[in-house]
Amino acid sequence: MSDRSSSSHAWWKALFRLQETGLFLGVAAVLGVIYLSSARDSFYSPYSLQDMLHQIALFGVLSLGAAIVIIAGGIDLSVGSVVALSSVVAARLMRDWLPALWLGAAPPQTALVGLTLVVTLSAGFLIGVFHAFLINQIRLPPFIATLATLAGLRSVARLISLSQPIGITSDLFIKLGNDTTFTVAIFSVLAIILSVVMGMTVLGRHLYALGGNEAAARLSGLRVPRLKLIAYGLSGLSAALGGILFAGSTGQGDGNLGIGYELWAITAAVVGGCSLSGGAGSIRGTVLGLVLVQIVIKGTGQFKWGVSSTEVEGLVLGTVVVLAVAFNQRNNKSS
């Protein structure tokens, strides 16, 4: 009886030490505080909840790719610039480049949108491959490689768009990024796929091993350059998908879109338990981390303090990053 009791106690102790469990309890606690406050009616209104789900889906797509790179021991600072470039490329493809292939005839909307998605996502993946090339072949640190493209890709986006927003007229394309049903479905499917990949496949275990100790992974026979290519390729792909969704949400491609979005992606991953030194974290935790951050920002903006959520989101993000990194470092030392 004592053995069974001690086993049950150990199981509950292990459960409450899980990062995801703490995040879930944190989400529940913040929701409870908001429910008991004066901001309850505005926060829990159908419009407010739908808008929050929409924002979670849009930024969640970016966060998933960033989490994979961080787990693999890297960092991707170019997420916001890839969003901007992808939105501009998608808009130009739909307005100018692809219609020219039909020689003046009106192209079918489904074909136009489908080709736009394929080309834009391929461009995002190639950007990730380029990051891997800079890291693997040129031997640049990931911070420097992606910092360079953070500035460079945004300039390319502004050149392509001539520093002007490019309007999108396709209702189908706009619906992909503006309809909460579509954005949440896309984010959910991507989160499930990547969660399975990272948690239940050989590739996922190798990415964790790479982030935990690159030298040991190399000595164990793992193909380190290929793993980095996959990690950064997935990050570029998810950022391009985010650019497509944001372009649909705003109805235009814009070279100024996505400024600071890399902070959103990295914050969600770090709050979700991803260690900046690599080898730790999960897709589930990243999703919960993003949900927690969005609820805190949205809830803060609902209080009658004379400020909106957009005015305080930078302060909240910065504070949350510091607290999350400090907590993770303390937790790693204690374990």
Distance, in Å, from the CA atom of 310 to the CA atom of 149, rounded to the nearest integer, reads 26
pLDDT at 303: 66
Confidence of residue 119 (pLDDT cuts 50, 70, 90): very high
Residue 334 confidence (pLDDT) above 60: no
pLDDT at 242: 97
Name, of 98-112, 144-158, 297-311, 314-328, the range with top average pLDDT.
144-158
pLDDT at 1: 43
8 A C-beta contact, residue 269 and residue 67:
yes
As a whole number, the mean pLDDT across the chain is 89
pLDDT at 16: 46
pLDDT at 102: 82
Average pLDDT for residues 239-256, to the nearest whole number?
97
Average pLDDT for residues 21-39, to the nearest whole number?
84
- pLDDT higher for 315 or 335? 315
CA 177 to chain centroid: 15
pLDDT at 13: 47
**Strand (E) or helix (H) holding 60:** helix 46-71
Tens digit of each residue's pLDDT (9 = 90 or more) over 261-281 = 999 999 999 999 899 999 999
pLDDT at 160: 96
Average pLDDT for residues 71-87, to the nearest whole number?
97
Confidence of residue 25 (pLDDT cuts 50, 70, 90): confident
Percent share of the chain, pLDDT over 70: 89
pLDDT at 325: 73
User: Helix, strand, or coil here: 253?
Assistant: strand
pLDDT at 185: 97
Residue 169 confidence (pLDDT) above 50: yes
pLDDT at 3: 55
Q: Point out the least confidently predicted range of 29-38, 190-199, 215-224.
A: 29-38
Structural domains for the chain: 40-334 (1.10.3470)
Three-state SS sequence of the chain:
CHHHHHHHHHHHHHHHHCHHHHHHHHHHHHHHHHHCCCCHHHHCCHHHHHHHHHHHHHHHHHHHHHHHHHHCCCCCCCHHHHHHHHHHHHHHHHHHHCHHHHCCCCCCHHHHHHHHHHHHHHHHHHHHHHHHHHHHCCCCCHHHHHHHHHHHHHHHHHHHHCCCCEECCCHHHHHHHHCHHHHHHHHHHHHHHHHHHHHHCHHHHHHHHHHHCHHHHHHCCCCHHHHHHHHHHHHHHHHHHHHHHHHHHHCEECCCCCCCHHHHHHHHHHHCCCCCCCCCCCHHHHHHHHHHHHHHHHHHHHCCCCCCHHHHHHHHHHHHHHHHHHHHHHHHHHC
pLDDT at 8: 55
